[in-house]
Amino acid sequence: MAFEWTPNKVTLLRVVVGFAAVSLFGRGAWANLLAVALTAASIALDALDGHIARKKKMATPVGAQLDILGDRMIENVYFTYFAVVGMVSLWLPILFFARGAATDFLRGLAMNAGYSGWGSNGLLQTWWGRALVASRWSRGLYAAMKCLCFCYLGLELALTRGPVALVSGLGGDVSATIRMGAQALTWATAVFCLVRGLPVLVEGWKYSAGSVRQSRGPKRAFAAPEAA
């Protein structure tokens, strides 16, 4: 039987590629550059799994949850690594951990109550919530910001840090400018992450309060997830 790429297989591959990239960071300048290339590949695979799911009509609830899980794993492993080596604040991975746990918890409660997908059966009912969480521009911008953030930090690591940095002897002003760029990118990504999670927190909070009946009759067919 011929091997066929499915969205779930692509999701698994991008997680493996992302972890391989992080394992290369700190092992020398050229290994850092390879890690940057693998990072870009991992983000590209994130777009590919969704494309395959839409084109081949292979979207499933399990696949949607795997996609979200893959996002969480990639975000957390990168920001944790860069926090451990002192390139970003420790509060950055803590913020992503907390935000992901809260939104995934509320999304799980909503699914247990029969709310998933879109329309009357969807978790997100407001236009602004759908625009911020699941629109193509929002998801594309967030993926681009994460890719730029991780690659920038990786290039900084390869070019200016460590005993075998490719560029040495940079002036204090240049180093400070590079650092400022890293801080601006990482915190801009964190802020946008929080903004995208806000609709899920606002509209999903009612499920934690038990104000919605747990049974609403037959569920509608699965549509695209409100990935945040």
pLDDT average, residue stretch 195-220:
70
Structural domains in the chain, sorted by start:
7-208 (1.20.120)
pLDDT of the residue at 218: 44
User: In this predicted model, which residue has the larger pLDDT, 184 or 2?
Assistant: 184
In whole angstroms, give the CA distance from residue 128 to residue 160: 42
Confidence of residue 211 (pLDDT cuts 50, 70, 90): very low
* 173/215: higher pLDDT: 173
**pLDDT, tens digit, for every residue of 143-158?**
899 999 999 998 888 7
Q: What is the pLDDT of residues 27-60, one digit of tens each?
A: 888 888 899 999 999 988 888 877 787 777 777 7
pTM as predicted: 0.80
Give me the helices (H) in the chain, please.
7-24, 29-55, 61-84, 91-112, 127-133, 136-160, 172-208
Q: Quick check: 214 pLDDT over 70? A: no
Q: Which of 57, 65, 73 is nearest to 15 (CA)?
A: 73
By mean pLDDT, which of 57-71, 100-114, 117-131, 207-221 is the weakest? 207-221
